[in-house]
Amino acid sequence: MNESADHELNDQSDERAAERADGVNDALIEAARRAEFEQQLVRAAAGDSAAWRVVVNAFAPRVHGLLRAQCRDDELAEEITQSTFCTIATKLGSYIENGRFEAWLFRIAMNRLRDEMRRRARQARTMDGEAFKRVAGASNNESGFVSVEVRDQLRLALSRMTEADREIIDLRHIGGLSFRALSDFYEEPVGTLLARHHRALKKLKAMLVELGVGAEDLSGRPNR
């Protein structure tokens, strides 16, 4: 083996080592963030109002966005968001040790919404512009821009999906849940949720193709 080949192998080895180090650092940073947030939960449960505001500010917009994506009524989404956090406030002290706050929170919110939707006998849903950008982003959107026409087609495609498929897309791309949190939410293995999410996106893309929406429409780039 010549000297240049040796250098190339060494460079590749160094790159792989750097990538592994970056991965370890990212994992450590994420673990530190989780530990810090868990401390906020402990303080909030003990009555620390500042810690409680941290918890609410971190999750209330995501909860509201998810609920709004599941129903027509922004007022209803706000009402259930507030109701959810009232429940969290009273039960936080008995739950924080389980370490699955995110999934617990979203499960309460979704169950509240389902109960209310059943009571009102209503199945309609909507999304705001930002939510559409995130869901379209799952279909390779690069710019985040979605035209009104494409947004209407996306809404139509989602309305034709099963409730289960719509829900996992909304939880992932609007609620912002990680696959680990989805695993806690559904109480299913991460691999199962990865497969379910992939199938749901594949169905969504197929429906969009049937409706005449192509990759360029979702990317925000003009057709050439």
Identity at 52, one-letter amino acid code: W
Nearest-angstrom CA–CA distance, 125 and 222: 29
Nearest-angstrom CA–CA distance, 204 and 166: 9
Nearest-angstrom CA–CA distance, 216 and 194: 25
Tens digits of residue pLDDT in 183-198: 888 888 999 999 999 9
Domains defined along the chain, listed by start: 34-126 (1.10.1740.10), 128-224 (1.10.10.10)
Angle made by CA atoms 103, 180, 58, in degrees to the nearest 5: 50
Nearest-angstrom CA–CA distance, 214 and 212: 6
Burial of 126 (0-12, 13-18, 19+ CB in 10 A): middle
Tens digits of residue pLDDT in 27-75: 655 556 777 888 888 888 888 899 999 989 989 999 999 898 887 688 9
Angle made by CA atoms 215, 221, 224, in degrees to the nearest 5: 90
The reported pTM is: 0.55
